[in-house]
Amino acid sequence: MTNGSSTAPVVAISGAGSGLGAAMAKSFAADGYRVVVTDQHEDRARSVAEQLDGEGHFACAMDVTDSAQWARLDDEIGTRYGRLDVLINNAGVATGGMLGETPLDDWAWVLDIDLMGVVRGCHQFVGRFRAQGHGHIINVASFAGLAGAPAIASYGTAKAGVVALSEMLRAELAPAGVEVSVLCPAFVTTKLTETMRAPDGDYAARVQRWMARSGVSAEDVAAVVLSAVRRPKFLLLTHRDTRWMYRLKRWFPELYFRIMMKQMRKMMPKPGDSSG
């Protein structure tokens, strides 16, 4: 691929070989960006890059748990483009289960990818953004990081960490003219359940059903992200019900808790019920 217009903005997206990452890659490419598509699976990254509108895109394999690979990506971006306008820390995995049921190995796995993967990406690129004096970092969390809901303790903790990190990073980078956003979608149909770890064998199937019922697509979420870059906004809530739930939790936390528990009793199976 050619480098396209040398003045076209550049976006780098982790975990862009499928699902939400791929949708964001296509959305930004259609808007004139040169897209750096990274994924743990190089074939997926290349497949997405080949489908993008425009020129100047680049695909590579990258494991977000490897700091050396983040450094190599930074070097590659500097050599190819000499700039980075948007960094989207999107790569993630999912875990389910109550706190006492979730193996500590699963905790370590989800924290290393979902939280520390974001930390590594931000840590690697903040120097470049500060030197440029402009840019936008978007960290993909989840409404699970805000909800305080049961049965997703490890995943929710990782995503809550991403929210907290983003809040602090926003304050650190504001004086340099660099924007930060945190994306907190609820259920969206992606391939997240393919690698999901959960003590309950039916958990992934239930999540797939909740994804299918959400009415919000990966393309819808990608549009929200692009809009937030055009007109900067920090907290990105992509589902209508999560917007009022977030406000309710902030203003009336006890009422929020009672409503959440009522909803969770409807969603979660009763003891002995394997139908979900």
* Residue 21 burial class via C-beta count within 10 angstroms: exposed 0-12, middle 13-18, buried 19 and up: buried
Please provide residue 236's backbone torsions phi and psi, each rounded to the nearest 5 degrees. Answer: -110, 105
What are the catalytic residues? 155
From CA 71, how far away is CA 76, in angstroms rounded?
Answer: 9
Closest CA to 188 of 266, 254, 242, 247: 242
Q: What is the DSSP letter of 268?
A: S
Contact present, 140 and 253 (Cβ < 8 Å): no
* Residue 232 burial class via C-beta count within 10 angstroms: exposed 0-12, middle 13-18, buried 19 and up: exposed
From CA 208, how far away is CA 192, in angstroms rounded?
Answer: 9
